[in-house]
Amino acid sequence: MKYEIRFSGSGGQGVITASVILGAAAALHDGKNVIQSQSYGPEARGGATKADVIISDAKIRYPKARHIDYLVSLTQKAAVKFIKTLKKGGVVIIDSDFVDLPDSPDHRIYRLPMTSSSIAKFNRTTTLNVIALGAFAEVAGLVSADAVKKAVLDNSPAGFEEMNIASLDMGRELARAAKKN
Amino acid sequence: MKYEIRFSGSGGQGVITASVILGAAAALHDGKNVIQSQSYGPEARGGATKADVIISDAKIRYPKARHIDYLVSLTQKAAVKFIKTLKKGGVVIIDSDFVDLPDSPDHRIYRLPMTSSSIAKFNRTTTLNVIALGAFAEVAGLVSADAVKKAVLDNSPAGFEEMNIASLDMGRELARAAKKN
């Protein structure tokens, strides 16, 4: 099985970090083949940042994401831009405090209030990317919970471990709540 | 012009972060086309981590690094493994406190005492990756000094800005000293 995941948002929201962590979780802790990449063209300065992860049981022949299975978008601009790259039957996870997309028979949308939940609990939004990672991990179930947790801890600066794990859990909880609806 | 750069070392040394920063510097601040990627296969758990950056003025057609122009290696294991991927005429930058490679007519080697310099000045080695980035930037001259500095600051957690800029400068100084020899 092979899956393509695209994290997107604006610069500074940490979508690259979320992708690096996801890639490390799947590769180093779950033993998958992974390619994690960011490709910057002339549009990169326009404010819609993306970072891709390909996770596969087999060797990955073509290293570029082309048929996205899971799209995570933290800004409207990124959501509108990259929804076109989602394959039919794909899944979208958005921060519903800032993003909305119309319902479509072609994909399922998880609308999660990430920013407002983060402000309510942490009084800040600096770990929005980790919340999004937790939401993705819960929705997709592609990577073991233990692997994701280990990779988050490996990538946490000293003193930020607890905050990051709490953010990961918050993302999972938001996804679980949305799954019930 | 198109260049392929490979940072390598062991897990936890921050070679991915160095590559992400280099890619962002070239793309977001210098306006280049960039693909930055990490590919993890079964060997990823073996301790030789690599992260690649392709920098080009033109659109990058093939996203995988194949003919490395600049190899940065922070461990002997990584150096021995990835020297094979360096193209003829390429440049190697190594932490000479832990790595050595034999001279060869096929490439130039910069042997820089990164770890011992870092310990002497900072009493730690947590920013070895940024020292290596500064050394690469100085040796290659592919990315403007201002772009690299901005990208380092963009990627510094609060409170670590000064330490990271000092590390970048240290890498540049080590490279300049080696160039004179």
- Write out pLDDT tens, residues A104-162: 999 999 999 999 999 999 999 999 999 999 999 999 999 999 999 999 999 998 889 99
Q: What is the CATH number of the domain that holds B62?
A: 3.40.920.10
Q: Do B63 and A16 touch (CB under 8 A)?
A: no
* Whether B114 contacts B171, CB under 8 Å: yes
Distance from CA of B22 to the nearest CA of A (A): 12
pLDDT attached to residue B11: 85
A85: contact with B, CB 8 A cutoff: no
Element at B67 (helix H, strand E): none
Q: Which domain holds residue B153?
A: 2-180
Residue B95 phi/psi, 5-degree rounding, is -80, 100
- Helices A15-24, B15-24: crossing angle, 10 deg rounding: 150
Higher pLDDT, B15 or A42: B15
pLDDT: which is higher, A11 or A23: A23
CA B180 to chain centre: 20
Q: Give the number of other CB atoms < 10 A from CB of residue A29.
A: 18
Other Cβ atoms closer than 10 A to A92: 22
pLDDT > 80? residue A42? no
Q: How confident is the model at residue A45 (pLDDT cuts 50, 70, 90)?
A: confident
To the nearest whole angstrom, how far is the Cα of B34 from the nearest Cα of chain A?
5
Predicted TM-score (pTM) of the model is: 0.94
> In angstroms, what CA-CA distances link B174 with A2, A27, B123, B134, B166?
44, 34, 17, 9, 12
Spell out which residues of chain B touch residue A31, defining contact as CB-CB under 8 Å. Answer: 42, 45
Report ipTM for this prediction: 0.92
Place of tokens 């990672």: A133
Do B41 and A33 lie within an 8 Å CB cutoff?
yes
A39 in contact with B, Cβ within 8 Å: yes
Q: Is residue B54 within 8 angstroms of chain A, CB to CB? A: no
Instruction: Choose, out of A30, A38, A130, A154, the residue to mutate when testing the contact with B (most B CBs < 10 Å).
Output: A38
Which chain A residue has the Cα nearest residue B58?
A41
User: How many angstroms separate the CA atoms of A86 and A6, rounded?
Assistant: 9
Number of domains composing chain A: 1
A154/B39 CB distance under 8 A: no
